Structure 1
Amino acid sequence: MAAPVSPRPKRIKFSGHTADDGLFGPDSVTWRISALPQLGLAAHGAAMLQMLLPPVMHMIDQASTFRTNPASRAELTALFGRTLTYGDTAAANRAAEVLAKIHHRVTATDPVSARTYHADEPDLLLWVHNTLQWMVLRVTDSYGPALSDANKSTYLNEQVIAARLTGCTVDDVPTTEKDLSAYIEGMTPRLAMGSDTIWFKKMVFPARIVWRPATYLPHMMGVAVAGLLNYEQRQLYGVDRPAWQFETNRKILKGIFEAEARKVPVLSRISLERQKVDEKAFGSPH
C-alpha cells in the first residue's frame, strides 16, 4: 500500500526538513515498514549483533557515550535513522555528512594488536548496515508485516541508497535475502564475546529480573531481541532459553504490535514520523 505525502501541520513551516519526499518516498517498502513499532526490535537486535564483532565493540567501549549515557546515544541513533528515512533530500544528505565526519574523527585501539583505527573503515560500516537489514527482515518475518520475496528484494535495493550515504562500498552491499544471509553466516567465525562486551551484556540482559508492571514489557522486549539472534549468536552471549519460551513471548508481543497497528494505522505513523523530522533532524542546526 502506497503512503501519500503526509499533511504538513499548520504550525510547521515549509522551512522544515520534509520539503520533498526524500530518498525513498511514499511508494517505497522502506516508508511502509520503518514507522511500525515492531521495527524498534530490529534496531535493538542489530545493536546486539553488532557488538559481537570485536572492532565494533572496542569502538563503542572506547569512543562512545553508550556506556555512560545509553538513552541519549540510542536517541541520536534513532534520530539519524528517522532523518535518513523520512527527511527530505537535503536533510538526509546533511545527516549523512555529519555522521561521516563523526565516524572519521573517532578512533579506537585494538587491545591485542595495538592497531588504532577509525570508525569509518568500510568493513565496519558494512557490518553495521547489513546487521540492521538482516534484523529488519527477521522482525518482519516474526512480527509482520509479512513481506514477499519481491518486497524483500525491493527493500534491500532501496537500502543501498542508505548504505552509500553512510560510507559503505556499494558493490559489497547484498541486495537479496540469500546474499545477506550468506554474509551474516560468513561473519560468524569473526564474532566473539570479549571482556569489553560484558558491560553491554549486563546492560541489555540484566541478571535479575524484577517482575513488576513497569519492567514486564521491557523484559519481554529483551527476550524478543534474544529470540531474533540465531543460535550461534545467542551462545556467544551465553543467553538462551527453550524454543517454546521464545515462541510464547513472540506470540504475545505480536498480538500487542497488531493491536497498536489497529489503533494507529501505518499512514498516520508515517505522518507522525515526518512531523518529528520537521521538528528535529539529525545534523541540522534548526
Structure 2
Amino acid sequence: MESDDLGLFGPGSVTWKVHGEPILIVAGLRALYLQALHPRAMAGVAQNSDYRTDAWGRLVRTAAYVATTVYGTTAEAEAAGARLRRLHARLQATDPVTGEPFRIDDPELLRWVHVTEVESFLSTARRAGLPLTDAEADGYHAEQRRAAALVGLDPADVPGSVAEVAEYYRRVRPELRLTREAAETALFLTAPPLPWKLSLPARLGLNLGPPRWAYLGIAGTAFALLPPWARRRYGGLGLPTTELSADLTVRALRLTLAALPRRWREGPLQQAAKERARLATAGLVD
C-alpha cells in the first residue's frame, strides 16, 4: 500500500536527517555557484533554461523535485525522475569553446550536477552544526546514489563517500573555469529580481531594504561556503578567516531557522512522509 511506502530513504536514513535541515536553502545556492564553474554545464543551462526570466519558478520546481525524491513515495520519486530524464533527453547545447554539440543528459554533466548538489547539502549541514559522524557522512553519499539513478546515472559511477567526492573534485578541477556565462550567472544569483509579491511594492516606490539585504546575506554566506579552490576560480581568496566567518554565520542562521514554527520549516511532502512513518511505526507496535 502507498500509505506504507516510505520512499527511497525513510526515517532511519541519513538523507532524512540531513534534509530535515531548513539551512539547506543556503546549500542549494552554494551548489549553483559551484555548478556554474563547469563550462559545458553552464552552457547547457544558459542555452536551455529560462532561469533569468523565471528564476524563482525554477527554484521552486527544483526544490519540489528534491523534496519528492527525498520524501515522496517510491512511485512519486520514480515518476519525477522519469519526467526529468524525458526532459533532458530532448535537450542539446553547444560547447562554448569547441562549438561541438552535446546532449544535456551526458553522464559527465549529470554526475557533476549530482555531486555538487549532494556535497553542498552535506557540507553545509555539517558546517551549520548538524551532528553527523564520518560514517553517516559516507552513508549519505551512498544513499544518494539512489537519487543519481533517477536522473539516469549508473550508481556505480557516482562517488559514494566523502573521500570519493574529494577525489572526484580533484579530477574535475582542471576542467573548471570562470567563463563569461559563469560570471554573469554568479552575479544574477547574488542579486536576482525579487519575486512578484515583493517587486510590486518596489515599483510603487516602497522601501524593500530588509528583504534585499537578507537575501544578499544568504547569497554571501553560500558563496563563502564554497571550497577555497572554487572561490579562487571566481577571483576570491581562499582565506581561513573566510572559512571561519562562513561557519559562524551559517550556524547562527541554522539556529534562527530552527526557531521558526514547524509548519514554516517543513513542506507538505515532508509532513506527509513523517505521517506515513508514524503510521507505519504504530502498525508495528500494535
In which range does the TM-score fall when normalised by the shorter chain? Answer: 0.7 to 0.9
Give yes or no for contact 1:43–1:132 (8 Å, CA) kept in 2.
yes
Q: What pairs up with 1:210-229 in 2 under 5 angstroms?
A: 212-229=209-226
CA deviation profile, 1:71-94 (whole Å, cap 9, x unmatched) = 111111111101111111111000
**C-alpha displacement at 1:163, in angstroms?**
0.8
CA deviation profile, 1:12-53 (whole Å, cap 9, x unmatched) = xx9xx8762111111111112213111112211111111110
Q: Which residue of 2 aligns with 1:122?
A: 107
Give the Cα separation in 2 of the matches to 1:80 and 1:112: 31
Question: Aligned Cα RMSD in Å?
Answer: 2.8
Q: Secondary structure at the match of 1:108?
A: strand
Q: What pairs up with 1:115-154 in 2 under 5 angstroms?
A: 115-154=100-139
Give yes or no for contact 2:23–2:128 (8 Å, CA) kept in 1.
yes
Q: Which has the higher helix share?
A: 2
Give yes or no for contact 1:31–1:270 (8 Å, CA) kept in 2.
no
Q: Which residue of 1 aligns with 2:164?
A: 179
Q: What pairs up with 1:45-64 in 2 under 5 angstroms?
A: 45-64=30-49
Residue ranges of structure 1 left out of the alignment (5+ in a row): 1-13, 278-286
Give yes or no for contact 2:228–2:239 (8 Å, CA) kept in 1.
no
Structure 1 residue 274 and structure 2 residue 270: aligned? yes
Structure 1 residue 78 and structure 2 residue 78: aligned? no
Q: What TM-score, normalized by structure 2, do the two folds share?
A: 0.82
**C-alpha displacement at 1:273, in angstroms?**
3.6
Q: Identify if the C-alpha distance between structure 1 residues 252 and 153 changes in structure 2 by more than 3 Å, giving closer, same or farther.
A: closer
Structure 1 residue 231 and structure 2 residue 228: aligned? yes
Give yes or no for contact 1:224–1:246 (8 Å, CA) kept in 2.
no
Structure 1 residue 20 and structure 2 residue 5: aligned? yes
CA deviation profile, 1:197-248 (whole Å, cap 9, x unmatched) = 23202212359xx994222321221121111212221122224486435533
Q: Which residue of 2 aligns with 1:91?
A: 76
Q: Which residue of 2 aligns with 1:67?
A: 52
Structure 1 residue 167 and structure 2 residue 148: aligned? no
Identity over aligned pairs, percent: 29
Give the Cα separation in 1 of the matches to 2:98 and 2:256: 51
Give yes or no for contact 2:36–2:186 (8 Å, CA) kept in 1.
no
Q: Which residue of 2 aligns with 1:5?
A: none
**C-alpha displacement at 1:260, in angstroms?**
2.6
2:142 counterpart (132, 147, 157): 157
**C-alpha displacement at 1:108, in angstroms?**
0.4
Range with bigger deviation, 153-162 or 239-248: 239-248
Q: What TM-score, normalized by structure 1, do the two folds share?
A: 0.82
Q: Which residue of 2 aligns with 1:260?
A: 257
Q: Identify if the C-alpha distance between structure 1 residues 241 and 155 changes in structure 2 by more than 3 Å, giving closer, same or farther.
A: closer
CA deviation profile, 1:175-214 (whole Å, cap 9, x unmatched) = 111111111122111001112223202212359xx99422
Q: Which residue of 2 aligns with 1:189?
A: 174
Give yes or no for contact 2:224–2:246 (8 Å, CA) kept in 1.
no
Give the Cα separation in 2 of the matches to 1:88 and 1:164: 16
User: Match for 2:49: what amino acid?
Assistant: S
Residue ranges of structure 2 left out of the alignment (5+ in a row): 193-206, 274-286
Give yes or no for contact 1:226–1:234 (8 Å, CA) kept in 2.
yes
Give the Cα separation in 2 of the matches to 1:166 and 1:197: 24
Q: Identify if the C-alpha distance between structure 1 residues 259 and 68 changes in structure 2 by more than 3 Å, giving closer, same or farther.
A: closer
Give yes or no for contact 1:131–1:184 (8 Å, CA) kept in 2.
no
